[in-house]
Amino acid sequence: MSMSLLLLSFLLALSNVQGGSNFRICAFNLHHFGESKANKNDVMTILASIISRCDVCLLQEVRDNKGTAVPKLLQTIGRYDPQNQYDALASERLGRQKSYQEQYVFVFRTNTVTVTGQYQYPDNLPGDEDAFSREPFVVRFRAPKTSIKEFVLIPQHTTPSNTTKELDALYDVLQQVRKMWKTENVMLLGDFNADCGYLAKKNRQNVRLITDSSLYWLIPENSDTTVRLTTSCSYDR
């Protein structure tokens, strides 16, 4: 009896660690993803192995000028994980300078998720100070197998030198999206640069995303979301 209880609690703990429902939402900065990476088969296979862990994966730093790299990535993912079907939804090219632009791209499993709404946050709202380099491309998903059924993702890749301001401005996006779609099931995600030198401790009090205690940060302050051994910062949140 006690052995089986022990085993049961171990299994429960295990399934908690893995997310219980098996439904996964991820964010991944692909670091200049375009034609050159798309032509490296070994790189593409590694990317496919990572992205296919997730039901929805937000890709950032997609710089696919010819529009060929993302379709190629989808093909690679399809071959890597034939059990699921994948599609992608891309924002327009975003950025203050024409010479440097990025897209947000959501790769998602069409067998578990459908897109039910999208909203490109505008570049210049009246009275807005143009806080973002890359305005969030907000997407609503329906996922019948999850208990909440529907949720909204607000992506952001901040500019390191403007991190404090951009993070704070995300709070306004969140309020607008909550009202627009009458939902509390909202997750903000991406490469926020929200740590170390880009977000000084003394500036955190100026970020409403941090000071509003009704919001919950899934990835804690002390986690290392970088791959480089010499940095330990929770940039990605």
CA dihedral in degrees (92, 96, 97, 98; nearest 10)? 20
Number of residues that bind ligand NAG (CB under 6 A): 8
Rank residues 31 and 96 by Cβ distance to ligand NAG and give the closer one: 96
- For tokens 């000028």, what's the residue? 65
Single-letter amino acid code for the residue at 178: R
Interface with ligand NAG includes 161 (CB under 6 A)? yes
Of the candidates 61, 102, 135, 166, the residue annotated as catalytic is 102
Interface with ligand NAG includes 206 (CB under 6 A)? no
CA dihedral in degrees (25, 30, 34, 35; nearest 10)? -100
Question: What is the Cα–Cα distance from 124 to 111, expressed in whole angstroms?
Answer: 36
Interface with ligand NAG includes 185 (CB under 6 A)? no
Residue nearest to ligand NAG (CB): 162
Interface with ligand NAG includes 159 (CB under 6 A)? yes
Interface with ligand NAG includes 162 (CB under 6 A)? yes
* DSSP code for 96: E
Interface with ligand NAG includes 130 (CB under 6 A)? yes
Is 102 in the active site?
A: yes
Give residues 94-113 in contact with ligand NAG (rule: CB under 6 A).
96
Binding piece for ligand NAG, criterion CB under 6 A, among 41-49, 124-132, 168-176, 186-194: 124-132
Interface with ligand NAG includes 128 (CB under 6 A)? no
Question: What is the Cα–Cα distance from 123 to 137, expressed in whole angstroms?
Answer: 11
Residues 56-83 as b or e (16 or more Cβ within 10 Å = b): bbbbbbbbbeeeebbeebbebbeebbee
Interface with ligand NAG includes 226 (CB under 6 A)? no
* DSSP code for 142: E
Interface with ligand NAG includes 123 (CB under 6 A)? no
So which residues are the catalytic ones?
102, 157
Site residues, ligand NAG (CB under 6 A): 96, 129-131, 133, 159, 161-162
